[in-house]
């Protein structure tokens, strides 16, 4: 309900901003302040060296989810939030790894000449049975498979559908070969598909198809794997509004603290964490009328597991009070952005549409830095689960990303202080537009931000 009121006000603002009357109104607001004066309450306090030091500490070692490296980062982030006096929660959640004890595929008693891979979620089981080729596994390609192992080509329909089709015709195992020469790591089954499912290369698969044209083949699938539970964490810190000026609204500001395995993740995403911590510091010294929740997620690199867990943990009431989510992921890459304006900074939304977050970001870029910040369409980070809850959300990132993305060379020496400063300013000023106490729910149009035009860009990101 709060959110609706804000969009309505923004819509009015957009109409007004197309004429010059609105712009003039903003610049000579009756209280005598220009927008810049308000921005400066935040901008003057941002210290990029703090951000750089955070990245230096975090990038000393990889922070893969579920490892000691993640725990070290989580403790550091928690202690920083706590030192600012913020109510800070560590939210643990489970993640799952697979330990492969052995996966063996035998053809007429002989091991195949490769290391076959289990489908993710496959049961551990050993079966020996005649092998039957069923093409790509469409129902019309499949006869009775009772007691047989199905040999299937990858492609066309989903892994789960293929396994299901084979299962429904009585198959006791699935052996799937790739539809390209790109190795044999693929495949998944879903709960209840309790037959061993194994992936092999295209070369081995095609040989078997040939062999089956002339002779009968007996195959053995022997899968012995274990699911190992580990723990990953989100760190959530709440900055409360001044008690007598509380709008009841919430803004969330996020990044992810995990890195890829073996990667120091200086830019991905120690940079985002550094901005979250610095904005928490700056805004904790500034009066506000809106709760600001600063958060760093674990397991983003496993598919936004931490942010999805956090999103699912929110009550309906909290969801309705969250006005906006700002996600910062890869915001300090010296070598990112190529020759694009604004160092390549872009705001990505899941649906490729503008929203409150991109409107505020574009306005802040124009107002405080004379930069035009475009928007585009992309997921691939923690703004996704917020969008799915109906919360206006965007990812701030320099694109295209640098050549060191997800490499051991994503190190501190490739970080640009100027880029860190830029994004901290733009996101800080945008958050402050919502949270500053003289704009209850952005209702007071005379001090609302000046809305600007900014383009959609279909820019390749990597």
Using CB under 6 A as the criterion, what x/- string covers residues 404-423 for binding ligand BES?
-x------------------
Q: Quick one: what does residue 380 bind among ligand BES, Zn ion, none, with the CB cut-off 5 to 8 Å set by partner type?
A: ligand BES
Q: Would you count residue 300 as binding ligand BES (CB under 6 A)?
A: yes
The stretch near ligand BES (CB under 6 A) out of 54-62, 155-163, 296-304, 450-458 is 296-304
Give me the 15-44 binding string for ligand BES, x by CB under 6 A, dash otherwise: ------------------------------
Q: Which is nearer to Zn ion, 117 or 256 (CB)?
A: 256
3-state secondary structure the chain: CHHHHHHHHHHHHHHHHCCHHHHHHHHCCCCCCCHHHHHHHHHCCCCHHHHHHHHHHHCCCCCECCCHHHHHHHHHHHHHHHHCCCEEEEEEEEEEEEEEEEEEEEECCEECCCCCEECECCCCEEEEEEEEECCCCCHHHCCCCCCCEEEEECCCCCHHHHHHHHHHCCCCEEEEECCCCCCCCCCECCCCCCCCEEEECHHHHHHHHHHHHHCCCEEEEEEEEEEEEEEEEEEEEEECCCHHHCCCCEEEEEEECCECCCCCCHHHHHHHHHHHHHHHHHHCCCCCCCEEEEEEECCHHHCCHHHHHHHHHCCHHHHHHEEEEEEECCCCECCCCCCCHHHHEEEEECCCCCCHHHHHHHHHHHHHHCCCCCEEECCCCCHHHHHHCCCCEEEEEECCCCCCCCCCCCCHHHECHHHHHHHHHHHHHHHHHHHCCCCHHHCCHHHCCCCCCCCECCCCCC
Q: For 64, left (φ over 0), alpha (ψ -120 to 50), or beta? A: beta
Of 235, 273, 293, 276, nearest to 90 by C-alpha is 235
Which region among 81-89, 185-193, 300-308, 431-439 touches ligand BES (by CB under 6 A)? 300-308
Give the one residue of 68, 418, 453, 462 binding ligand BES; rule: CB under 6 A: 462
The yes or no reply on residue 352 touching ligand BES (CB under 6 A) is no
Give the x/- contact pattern for ligand BES in 152-191, rule: CB under 6 A: ----------------------------------------
According to the binding rule CB under 6 A, does residue 268 interact with ligand BES? yes
**Which does residue 266 bind out of ligand BES, Zn ion, none, counting CB within 5 to 8 angstroms by kind?**
none
Q: How far is the CB of 397 from ligand BES (least distance, A)?
A: 6
299: nearest Cα among 127, 92, 133: 92
Q: Does 382 bind ligand BES (CB under 6 A)?
A: no
The least CB distance from residue 267 to ligand BES, in Å, is 8
The verdict on 64 binding ligand BES (CB under 6 A) reads no
Contact set for ligand BES, span 328-347 (CB under 6 A): 329-330
- Locate 68 and state its tokens: 């000691």
Q: Which of 153, 301, 359, 371 binds ligand BES (CB under 6 A)?
A: 301
359 near ligand BES, rule: CB under 6 A: no
Task: State the minimum distance, in angstroms, from the CB of residue 405 to ligand BES.
Answer: 6
Question: What distance separates the 2 farthest-apart alpha carbons in the chain?
Answer: 90
Stretch touching ligand BES by CB under 6 A, among 89-97, 230-238, 295-303, 316-324: 295-303
The pattern of x and - marking residues 94 through 123 that bind ligand BES according to CB under 6 A reads ------------------------------
Q: Which residue has the tokens 């990044």?
A: 255
Within 10 angstroms of residue 456's Cβ, the number of other Cβ atoms is 13
Residues binding Zn ion (CB under 5 A): 268-269, 329
Contact between residue 363 and residue 426 where contact means Cβ atoms under 8 Å apart: no
Closer residue to ligand BES in complex, CB, 325/367: 325
Structure tokens given for 95? 């993640």
- Least distance in Å: CB of 306 to Zn ion? 12
At its nearest, how many Å lie between ligand BES and the CB of residue 302?
6
**427 touching ligand BES, by CB under 6 A:** no
Residue nearest to ligand BES (CB): 380
Size of the site for ligand BES (CB under 6 A): 15
380 near ligand BES, rule: CB under 6 A: yes
CB 353 within 8 A of CB 390: no
Scanning 124-132, 333-341, 357-365, 376-384 for contacts with ligand BES by CB under 6 A, the matching segment is 376-384
Stretch of 166-174, 285-293, 374-382, 433-441 lying at the interface with ligand BES (CB under 6 A):
374-382
Residue whose structure tokens are 């901290």: 424
CB of 260 to ligand BES, least distance (A): 7
Binding interface with ligand BES (CB under 6 A): 268-269, 300-301, 303, 329-330, 378, 380-381, 397, 401, 405, 461-462
């Amino acid at each position: 309900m709060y959110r609706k009121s804000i969009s309505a006000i923004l819509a009015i603002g957009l109409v007004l901003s197309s004429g010059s009357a609105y712009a003039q109104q903003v610049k000579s607001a009756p209280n005598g302040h220009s927008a810049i004066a308000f921005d400066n309450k935040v901008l003057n306090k941002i210290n990029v060296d703090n951000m750089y030091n955070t990245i230096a500490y975090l990038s000393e070692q990889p922070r893969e989810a579920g490892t000691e490296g993640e725990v070290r980062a989580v403790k550091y982030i928690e202690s920083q939030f706590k030192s600012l006096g913020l109510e800070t929660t560590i939210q643990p959640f489970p993640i799952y790894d697979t330990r492969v004890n052995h996966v063996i595929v035998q053809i007429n008693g002989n091991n195949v000449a490769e290391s076959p891979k289990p489908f993710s979620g496959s049961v551990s089981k050993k079966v020996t049975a005649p092998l039957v080729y069923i093409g790509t596994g469409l129902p019309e390609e499949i006869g009775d498979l009772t007691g047989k192992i199905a040999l299937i080509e990858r492609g066309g329909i989903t892994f789960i559908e293929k396994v299901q089709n084979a299962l429904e015709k009585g198959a006791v195992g699935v052996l799937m070969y790739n539809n390209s020469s790109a190795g044999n790591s693929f495949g998944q089954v879903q709960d209840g598909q309790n037959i061993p499912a194994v992936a092999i290369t295209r070369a081995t698969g095609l040989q078997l198809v040939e062999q089956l044209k002339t002779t009968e083949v007996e195959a053995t699938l022997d899968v012995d794997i274990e699911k190992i539970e580990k723990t990953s964490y989100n760190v959530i810190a709440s900055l409360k509004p001044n008690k007598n000026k509380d709008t009841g609204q919430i803004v969330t500001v996020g990044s992810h603290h995990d890195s890829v395995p073996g990667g120091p993740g200086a830019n991905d995403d120690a940079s985002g964490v550094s901005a979250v911590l610095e904005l928490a510091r700056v805004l904790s010294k500034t009066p506000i009328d809106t709760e600001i929740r600063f958060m760093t997620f674990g397991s983003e690199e496993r598919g936004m597991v931490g942010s999805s867990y956090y999103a699912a943990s929110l009550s309906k009431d909290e969801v309705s009070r969250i006005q906006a989510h700002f996600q910062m992921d890869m915001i300090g890459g010296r070598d990112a952005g190529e020759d694009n304006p604004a160092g390549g900074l872009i705001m990505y939304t899941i649906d490729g549409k503008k929203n409150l977050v991109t409107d505020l970001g574009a306005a802040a870029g124009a107002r405080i830095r004379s930069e035009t910040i475009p928007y585009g369409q992309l997921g691939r980070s923690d703004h996704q689960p917020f969008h799915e809850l109906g919360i206006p959300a965007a990812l701030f990132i320099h694109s295209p990303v640098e050549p060191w993305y997800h490499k051991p060379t994503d190190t501190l020496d490739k970080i640009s202080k100027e880029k860190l400063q830029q994004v901290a300013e733009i996101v800080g000023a945008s958050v402050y537009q919502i949270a500053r106490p003289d704009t209850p729910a952005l209702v007071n149009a005379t001090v609302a931000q000046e809305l600007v035009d900014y383009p959609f860009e279909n820019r390749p990101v990597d």
